[in-house]
Structure 1
Amino acid sequence: MLTRTIPRRVLVLTAVALAALPTAALTFPAGAADSAPAAAAASAAPVGFVDLPDSPLPSDHAPHQVTVTYRNPTSTDQTVAPQILIESPDEGPFLDPAQIRLELLETDGRWHTVPLASQTGTLYTGLIPAKIVLHGNHKLTEHYRLTVLAGPAQGTIEPRVAIYA
């Protein structure tokens, strides 16, 4: 019998994208019929992802910088969202959000903690709060600082950029 293995990352990301759609559809007030299409477009799932180079999760408990860089290759505006995935080893142990501190360098020059969600051994940053409009032929650069806080942690840091229609 032929079997097929679906990578855990694909399952997690599909579940996250699908979970967002019913919530968005159910949150529109009855009197907001005119604004519903615009709000639905704003919360729609990404149409694709640009995977950036990954790296092993450092285990020395020191802060390490992770930079997400993406250039809009088109001449039109594009809605994008940078995302950091931290993938646990397939055989475990699975990472816990309490083991990792992820911070984003904001425009005010200070580091702000970014919450991490977890599903099936993958820690990830939310897409909706990270959405921005990137003008045609412009470049997005986000600087993150990642620190392993507890225990011997193994895994992979997988930055990427979500692309919206």
Structure 2
Amino acid sequence: MPTRKVPRRNLVLTTLAIALAALPAAAFAPPGQAAAPAASDPPSTSAAAAPVSFVNLPSLPLPADHAAHKITVTYRNDSSGDRTVAPQILVESPDNGPFLDPVDIRLELLAADGHWHTVALGSQTGTLYTPLIPAKLVLHSHHTLTEHYRLTVTKAGQGTIEPRVALYA
């Protein structure tokens, strides 16, 4: 029986999309602000909607040192309308392992206040990834999204850093 290899990043996205679609919209509201929808309210699926495509940015080898390395994610919305996007960092382990663990890497995001904030990493099938839902934002027509990350390898391993931008309908 012929088999087909599914790239791990597609498996992560599919599994994440299925899991998010199963969650109620209240799961995405801050604590204390989640309210039960009124009977007349239509079901909300915008928070859990899966991306329609990705813009893959140039990948980088995972550094072997323990120094902080800057990664910049840039995407320009050249369309005539606003677009919902979400930057994402994937760190792919080698196909045959050993697989990286979230504690092997520290990823930080430069916030608007000028401070670096740690970003939690998910892990599935050898891929570390930043969650999409908290990163979603509306990018206005002809505006550019630029996000600055800082990645530090805390435990040496092999892998590839794959920045990308998720595009929503």
Report the TM-score when normalising by structure 1. 0.91
- The reply to whether residue 158 of structure 1 matches residue 162 of structure 2 is yes
- The reply to whether residue 112 of structure 1 matches residue 107 of structure 2 is no
User: What's 2:55 paired with?
Assistant: 50
Supply the distance in 2 between the matched residues of 1:143 and 1:82 (Cα, whole angstroms): 10
Cα contact 2:25–2:47 (8 A) shared by 1? no
Deviations 1:122-148 (A, max 9, x none): 000010100111000110000000000
- Structure 1 residue 60 displacement after superposition: 0.4
- Structure 1 residue 42 displacement after superposition: 2.8
Q: Which moved more, 1:48-57 or 1:26-35?
A: 26-35
The residue identity in structure 1 corresponding to 2:148 is H
Report matched runs for 1:88-127 at 5 Å. Answer: 88-127=93-132
- Structure 1 residue 30 displacement after superposition: 5.9
Counterpart selection for 1:32 from 27, 31, 38: 38
The residue identity in structure 2 corresponding to 1:2 is P
The residue identity in structure 1 corresponding to 2:68 is P
Cα contact 2:17–2:48 (8 A) shared by 1? no
The residue identity in structure 2 corresponding to 1:161 is V
Q: Which moved more, 1:23-32 or 1:62-71?
A: 23-32
User: What's 2:16 paired with?
Assistant: 16
Supply the distance in 1 between the matched residues of 2:41 and 2:75 (Cα, whole angstroms): 31
Supply the distance in 2 between the matched residues of 1:26 and 1:113 (Cα, whole angstroms): 25
Q: Any gaps of 5 or more consecutive residues in structure 1?
A: none
Q: What secondary structure, in the 3-state scheme, does the structure 1 residue paired with 2:45 have?
A: helix
The residue identity in structure 2 corresponding to 1:153 is G
Identity of aligned residues (%): 66
- Structure 1 residue 31 displacement after superposition: 4.2
Report the TM-score when normalising by structure 2. 0.89
- The reply to whether residue 129 of structure 1 matches residue 134 of structure 2 is yes
Cα contact 2:26–2:36 (8 A) shared by 1? no
Number of aligned residues? 163
Q: Any gaps of 5 or more consecutive residues in structure 2?
A: 28-33
- The reply to whether residue 146 of structure 1 matches residue 151 of structure 2 is yes
User: What's 2:72 paired with?
Assistant: 67
The residue identity in structure 2 corresponding to 1:143 is H
Cα contact 2:81–2:140 (8 A) shared by 1? yes
The residue identity in structure 2 corresponding to 1:122 is T
User: What's 1:5 paired with?
Assistant: 5
RMSD, matched Cα? 1.8
Q: What secondary structure, in the 3-state scheme, does the structure 2 residue paired with 1:6 have?
A: coil
Q: Which moved more, 1:117-126 or 1:40-49?
A: 40-49
